[in-house]
Structure 1
């Protein structure tokens, strides 16, 4: 892959410059709807929807789960099943360009992702008017939750859960990484990259990783322009730490090899320095990037369930106490 990137870089002077594409939503032409298996947006887009209904007569809370980059709504299958057994209803939809949605692999833009989530929140609140709603985002999904809440300050949401938030901003990246991304995104934005040759362990749950590798709805070849769009989103999320004023629970695995410790801990420290008592930060010693699907995922599910019902600390796992001990210390 490295040779391929270098070759493209050397040829860029002979290529007409392009602009990374954003395949945003169209004008409003339909009434937004929340159906059994689909979320219909105002521009008439059909976004596949999954829900985990609680079998109990009373729903105590609702979680709207937002998936990460190249993933889709199925990421919440195990967690959603757990929460459904604890009087908590969960919803997750395939965001534009991901999973079973149209324009697969194409980046829709930050504003469109925010608008979709904002609309979805309103529809869920109409369905559950007297039940507290929580947003849960994984990686890129967490960055979208941050962007949505800091721009619209949604009064319909009672709290947010950010799992392994994608906050690897450009200002924390090496200069050559920034230069290469800008050059490729403005010359060959349509070029795709795979993860072949990259030795990164996103989770210790091998069965889950094997299932993802075989799942046709998980994107395996990523367009450069989509990576560029993700970088823009991470920039915005990273710089918004001081704007998060909602009840917030942040979860990060110390073995995360996808989003590095340096930018994450800087983000968490910036967040902690807001001195807002409604923010709880938890660090999991054996956690990887895919925290909600790791072998120890049940520990996090339990922490989340405890938090959304009490907003109290310490968490059952003690991960918030560990965070207090580790943050503000030199990063290894």
Structure 2
């Protein structure tokens, strides 16, 4: 009898669970002319207008003179914004590279702030943005650089049946901490929380704020935390959507269709070694994937104190994906296999 009541109670609980919320597409305004770029001077915010009329604000850094030989479309991480590339963009501009960093749907000043947009919408937005940038610079090398969650979105897009029309993919510590790396308790708790309390937003626990660092660049962490476009409290349904996206990235890392460089730091406390090792082992001997290990690197490789080393390696990979990196960074997986037990 007790067992039957337990089963009945569980069944009723599951029935009452709501599907985690995902932003619906917008309705384009009357007279919508299709995807286009709303221009702004270099260093100021314009916007990409995508298929459903959503405006995704961007920052652009361009060379002082002449046409860029390469153009980067930059994707920020979870709860971050286009300002994530405010240090890298000007540096790359000095090397003749133009960078467009945009607020992804649900973040920064893009539509649906704080609400999960879904993998399909996020990857479709990237495909549209790359097409717009490609049309603006048809003769340049076009690359996508994705940091953390931005790397997860890039992997999902480039491994899909409709990959963006780019020539290179650079992954800065991509998010690969998917459901298969969560552990039973954590995964089950989040699954239920996303369905029972999906619209409840929570900030990171005090111990996480105290003990986990994303970078050794403390001033940049402070700036990022004070940026009004950063999100500090995250809904449970958004967290669930993120974990699902990271599972896709973990499963499909070896399926990207352009030369891909994955960069990872030995001190990364956000995407920890276990999930990264699993993703790389799943990728196997991918013909398109190359990796780079940074002994002094943290999670925000793009903003660490040693970020200039990473910037230089990115430039080298854009010029020749097969050439040695200026830093001498070697493969990631052997370091992780030596340091972490197999799952």
**TM-score (structure 2 length as normaliser):** 0.88
Q: Mean alpha-carbon deviation: is it higher for 75-84 or for 187-196?
A: 187-196
Q: What SS does structure 2 have at the residue aligned with 1:307?
A: helix
Distance in 2 of aligned mates of 1:155 and 1:95: 16
Alignment of 1:153-192 (within 5 A): 153-154=162-163, 156-192=165-201
Q: Does the alignment pair 1:291 with 2:294?
A: no
1:264-287, CA deviations, whole angstroms, 9 ceiling, x for partnerless residues?
Answer: 02212333423x1x4220011111
Equivalent residue number for residue 313 of structure 1: 323
1:176-224, CA deviations, whole angstroms, 9 ceiling, x for partnerless residues?
Answer: 0011001111101011111241121110000001111211110001111
Equivalent residue number for residue 7 of structure 1: none
Equivalent residue number for residue 19 of structure 1: 19
Pick the aligned partner of 1:40 from 38, 42, 49: 49
| Structure 1, unpaired ranges of 5+ | 1-11
Residue 327 of structure 1 deviates from its aligned partner by: 5.0
Change over 3 Å in CA distance of 1:89–1:203 after alignment to 2: same
Distance in 1 of aligned mates of 2:253 and 2:125: 22
Equivalent residue number for residue 304 of structure 1: 314
Residue 87 of structure 1 deviates from its aligned partner by: 0.5
Change over 3 Å in CA distance of 1:156–1:13 after alignment to 2: closer
Aligned residues: 318
Runs of 4+ in 1 over 6 A off after TM superposition: none
**TM-score (structure 1 length as normaliser):** 0.91
Q: What SS does structure 1 have at the residue aligned with 2:196?
A: coil
Distance in 2 of aligned mates of 1:27 and 1:235: 30
Equivalent residue number for residue 226 of structure 1: 238
Q: What SS does structure 2 have at the residue aligned with 1:151?
A: coil
Residue 252 of structure 1 deviates from its aligned partner by: 0.6
Change over 3 Å in CA distance of 1:173–1:28 after alignment to 2: same
Distance in 1 of aligned mates of 2:115 and 2:101: 19
The answer (yes or no) to whether the contact 1:280–1:320 under 8 Å persists in 2 is no
Q: Give the root-mean-square deviation of aligned CA atoms.
A: 1.9
The answer (yes or no) to whether the contact 1:269–1:327 under 8 Å persists in 2 is no
Residue 103 of structure 1 deviates from its aligned partner by: 1.7
Alignment of 1:83-102 (within 5 A): 83-102=92-111
Change over 3 Å in CA distance of 1:96–1:131 after alignment to 2: same
Q: Does the alignment pair 1:251 with 2:254?
A: no
Q: Mean alpha-carbon deviation: is it higher for 137-146 or for 191-200?
A: 191-200
Change over 3 Å in CA distance of 1:121–1:315 after alignment to 2: same
